[in-house]
Amino acid sequence: MPSRLMPKADIEALFARFEAANPHPQTELNYTSPFTLLVAVVLSAQATDAGVNKATKELFAAAPTPQAMCALGEEEIRQHIKTIGLFNTKAKNVFALSKILAKDYGGTVPKDRAALEALPGVGRKTANVVLNVAFGEPTMAVDTHIFRLANRLGLAPGKTPRAVEDGLLKRIPARYMRHAHHWLILHGRYICKARKPECARCLVRDLCRYPDKTG
């Protein structure tokens, strides 16, 4: 759909505006290390960041490392996270991935996509978040917000998360890649919402290719 594709100059302008408005965007998940970030992202599937933060406050105080998480045990982990959706599966995965990190990686989180994706409960999206946020790699984790925005804006239209990921990696200028993921997520969460985008107060409205703008 060529007419929906945002031109290069507009992509540059879009990220320049995001950067000016929020030079150092952060994940809204609380974490203290690559390991706690990894656990927080695993717990965040089908849960809000606020809900995850509430549960991890005590979990991370009790078990900030893979070794400590193993010592805590699966049942205790389950007790800490039982307010989060899918807590049974997530407790199993957090315990199992902690065992692997403690045994095979000396308690560190590998800076390697294949190794991350081999961990229980860790898919491509989680690996992308960890590589980007913990290690500064220019990856793009496509969640529901980014998928919607890439299509609405005309930034990288695509039918699948992977097609959108590839399109974004190709089209976003390298100097914005470090923070692009957070700018897009925050824009999707607070302005370009799924049901009713707030186009009237959108700072990139004139650049956006969405034909059904509101306001």
Please identify, using beta-carbon distances, which residue of 71 and 203 lies nearer to ligand SF4. 203
Q: Which residues bind ligand SF4 (CB under 6 A)?
A: 152-153, 191-192, 197-199, 202, 204-205, 208, 210, 213
Instruction: Please check if 192 is assigned to a binding site.
Output: yes
Please identify, using beta-carbon distances, which residue of 136 and 215 lies nearer to ligand SF4. 215
CA distances in angstroms from 132 to 27, 92, 113, listed in the order given: 11, 25, 11
Please identify, using beta-carbon distances, which residue of 82 and 213 lies nearer to ligand SF4. 213
Least Å distance between CB 101 and ligand SF4?
39
Burial of 40 (0-12, 13-18, 19+ CB in 10 A): buried
CB 71 within 8 A of CB 65: no
Catalytic, out of 49, 111, 143, 193? 143
Clarify whether 125 is annotated catalytic.
yes
Q: Which residues contact 192 (CB under 8 A, 6 or more apart)?
A: 145, 148, 149, 152, 153, 198, 202
Least Å distance between CB 102 and ligand SF4?
44
* Measured distance CA(137)–CA(140) in Å, rounded: 9
Place of tokens 């599937």: 45
* Measured distance CA(94)–CA(184) in Å, rounded: 28
Least Å distance between CB 38 and ligand SF4?
31
Instruction: Please check if 202 is assigned to a binding site.
Output: yes
Least Å distance between CB 142 and ligand SF4?
16
Instruction: Please check if 70 is assigned to a binding site.
Output: no
Catalytic, out of 125, 159, 196, 212? 125
Please identify, using beta-carbon distances, which residue of 72 and 153 lies nearer to ligand SF4. 153
* Measured distance CA(142)–CA(146) in Å, rounded: 5
Catalytic residues: 125, 143
Task: Give the annotated binding-site residues.
Answer: 192, 199, 202, 208
Task: Give the annotated binding-site residues for [4Fe-4S] cluster.
Answer: 192, 199, 202, 208
